[in-house]
Copies of this chain bind each other. A is one copy, B any other.
């Protein structure tokens, strides 16, 4: 058997290694147009920021070592330029010599990845404007920053890579501005969760320009003028474009392979393209999302690696192993914060017409009595009918990755908020509380589903009618330190004695700091004949983050 693989990083190298383990005697050739294989894409921002100091650490494998260990013919700096599916050949060009040649294959695996988007803006190709995908880009950026004594960076696009680069540039001592077209950072998360991140970024003195688009660039001397759609012009020494990526489908399209609705390479559940002898994995493919059932492209290293393993199995053993799709579990460190998401954000559920309920809770990363606990905010979405979990998003400072992983395991398995209640976590004071934040999210969601808790949302406050009652049930000192305009204060612990102050026929909107005391207040009120009571999901904390 002869296997050819195009692309030798996350998906490609993983496929190759597994192919060899399954089939010691096959001929395996892997093509990589870049200089390096198996590099740590995800580590590149941290190498630029000198968190990773040793450049060699970026290489999980080298061509020589990979060949030695796996007996794989690794051909770097060699681009595959065409596929001839009927002849079962590929055409390759050796960059160093310009030599063009063909190779036959029995099975071909494509893992060409995705390319950074470079919109056709005036001046976009000026010196000093970079995208970041591979080691070469990294070397360019790093040496440019060092040699040009760069002090001002503009980052365009506040996605995961943009924010990582904002932190890393900032840590190098640069003055950093992040420009983002939409009204929030991190498009895959919902606005309330993003709002915590925005506060944090700003607290680090990074300039964040939301709702702002770049219209063009002008190079003047060593500086780049970055023109904005509001007429303003920013001066930068270096610009990073991180406005997204798109699947590299050129080879596939040229070969007549089917592309899907999302413009990625179409594959079936076995990761097989429309040509049965060609498989594809990684950032270039699209696949049905298990939550929305829409075809989607996933730009994540975990799925790419795991697809590689599945793909190799199917190539060697026949189509025996199904890929189940990715729920897009993603995480990013943003300075001291960690933010992540798993499943599908509320706004995207809405866009997909999927009915859902959102609930926000705040909890300590571990027991409050043990030093160092930090608050995290968890927003989940679930179906109204059966409580099936559709997404979880978390922003916080510690233990965020843990809870995301737990939610991911539940979402992946199609589980419901009722299952969260039964989650039996590992508890000792340094790690959690007797009820984990995951349990808490489950409790609250269950209460909502069973109508023990009625909620309203931060953006509904504006819509309260005259005559509606907004009650802050926190302590007086908390109320006095800041409250939602229009609220009166009745601390929950006084509520039973002050019921007579509240007119029964009014619509009552309650809030507290995080949501818990508001829930208690609601229990008291509703069992005392007040029927139109709702509690602010996520409490004052969330309202404050969303409105400042």
> Interface residues, chain A, CB within 8 Å of chain B?
10, 20-25, 40, 42-43, 46, 51-52, 57-58, 60, 65, 68-69, 71, 160, 164, 300-306, 309, 324, 326-327, 329-333, 338, 340, 342, 367-371, 401-402, 404-406, 408-410, 412-413, 415, 419, 421-432, 434-436, 438-439, 443, 452, 492-493, 496, 519-520, 523-524, 527-528
Separation in Å of the A321 CB from the closest CB of chain B? 10
Q: Which 6 A-B pairs have the closest CB atoms?
A: A24-B527, A331-B426, A402-B402, A57-B369, A401-B431, A301-B434
The residue among A43, A415, A519 with the most chain B CB atoms within 10 A of its own CB is A43
Q: Report chain B residues within 8 Å CB of A519.
A: 21
Q: Report chain B residues within 8 Å CB of A340.
A: 426
Separation in Å of the A25 CB from the closest CB of chain B? 7
Known: A51-B371, A369-B43, A520-B21. A342 touches B426 (CB 8 A): yes
Known: A423-B408, A423-B412, A424-B327. A305 touches B435 (CB 8 A): yes
- Cα A415 to Cα B368 in complex, Å, equals 32
- 16 other A-B residue contacts (CB within 8 Å) besides A305-B434, A338-B430: A10-B434, A25-B527, A57-B369, A69-B492, A69-B493, A69-B520, A71-B496, A306-B435, A329-B427, A331-B427, A333-B428, A333-B430, A333-B431, A340-B426, A405-B436, A413-B419
> How many of these chains are in the complex?
2
Contact with A370, one of B52, B71, B326 (Cβ below 8 angstroms): B52
Asked whether, in the complex, the Cβ of B301 is within 8 Å of the Cβ of A431, the reply is no
Asked whether, in the complex, the Cβ of A369 is within 8 Å of the Cβ of B40, the reply is yes
Asked whether, in the complex, the Cβ of A302 is within 8 Å of the Cβ of B333, the reply is no
Asked whether, in the complex, the Cβ of B427 is within 8 Å of the Cβ of A42, the reply is yes
Q: Report chain B residues within 8 Å CB of A427.
A: 42, 300-302, 329-331
Contact with A329, one of B419, B425, B452 (Cβ below 8 angstroms): B425
Q: Report chain B residues within 8 Å CB of A410.
A: 409
| Beta-carbon nearest neighbor of A415 in chain B | B413
Asked whether, in the complex, the Cβ of A428 is within 8 Å of the Cβ of B326, the reply is no
- Cα A523 to Cα B401 in complex, Å, equals 34
- Cα A435 to Cα B18 in complex, Å, equals 14
Separation in Å of the A327 CB from the closest CB of chain B? 6
What are 22 A-to-B residue pairs whose CB atoms are below 8 Å?
A21-B452, A40-B429, A42-B367, A42-B427, A43-B370, A43-B429, A46-B429, A51-B370, A300-B427, A302-B424, A303-B424, A306-B421, A306-B439, A326-B424, A327-B424, A342-B426, A401-B426, A405-B406, A406-B406, A406-B409, A412-B422, A412-B424
- Cα A305 to Cα B427 in complex, Å, equals 12
| Beta-carbon nearest neighbor of A426 in chain B | B331
Q: Report chain B residues within 8 Å CB of A305.
A: 434-435
Separation in Å of the A510 CB from the closest CB of chain B? 15
Q: Report chain B residues within 8 Å CB of A368.
A: 57
Asked whether, in the complex, the Cβ of A435 is within 8 Å of the Cβ of B302, the reply is yes
| Beta-carbon nearest neighbor of A425 in chain B | B405
Known: A369-B58, A370-B51. A408 touches B429 (CB 8 A): no
The residue among A69, A326, A405, A435 with the most chain B CB atoms within 10 A of its own CB is A405
Contact with A428, one of B71, B306, B331, B412 (Cβ below 8 angstroms): B331
- Cα A25 to Cα B423 in complex, Å, equals 31
- Cα A304 to Cα B412 in complex, Å, equals 28
Q: Report chain B residues within 8 Å CB of A443.
A: 309
Asked whether, in the complex, the Cβ of A528 is within 8 Å of the Cβ of B52, the reply is no
Asked whether, in the complex, the Cβ of A52 is within 8 Å of the Cβ of B331, the reply is no
Q: Report chain B residues within 8 Å CB of A492.
A: 69
- Cα A457 to Cα B427 in complex, Å, equals 30
Q: Report chain B residues within 8 Å CB of A46.
A: 370, 429
Asked whether, in the complex, the Cβ of B371 is within 8 Å of the Cβ of A52, the reply is yes
The residue among A10, A306, A432 with the most chain B CB atoms within 10 A of its own CB is A306
| Beta-carbon nearest neighbor of A432 in chain B | B401
Asked whether, in the complex, the Cβ of A60 is within 8 Å of the Cβ of B302, the reply is no
Asked whether, in the complex, the Cβ of A523 is within 8 Å of the Cβ of B413, the reply is no
- Cα A185 to Cα B296 in complex, Å, equals 49
Q: Report chain B residues within 8 Å CB of A423.
A: 405, 408-409, 412
Q: Report chain B residues within 8 Å CB of A43.
A: 367, 369-370, 429
Separation in Å of the A110 CB from the closest CB of chain B? 19
- Cα A428 to Cα B443 in complex, Å, equals 29
| Beta-carbon nearest neighbor of A303 in chain B | B424
| Beta-carbon nearest neighbor of A410 in chain B | B409
- Cα A301 to Cα B412 in complex, Å, equals 28
- Cα A423 to Cα B409 in complex, Å, equals 6
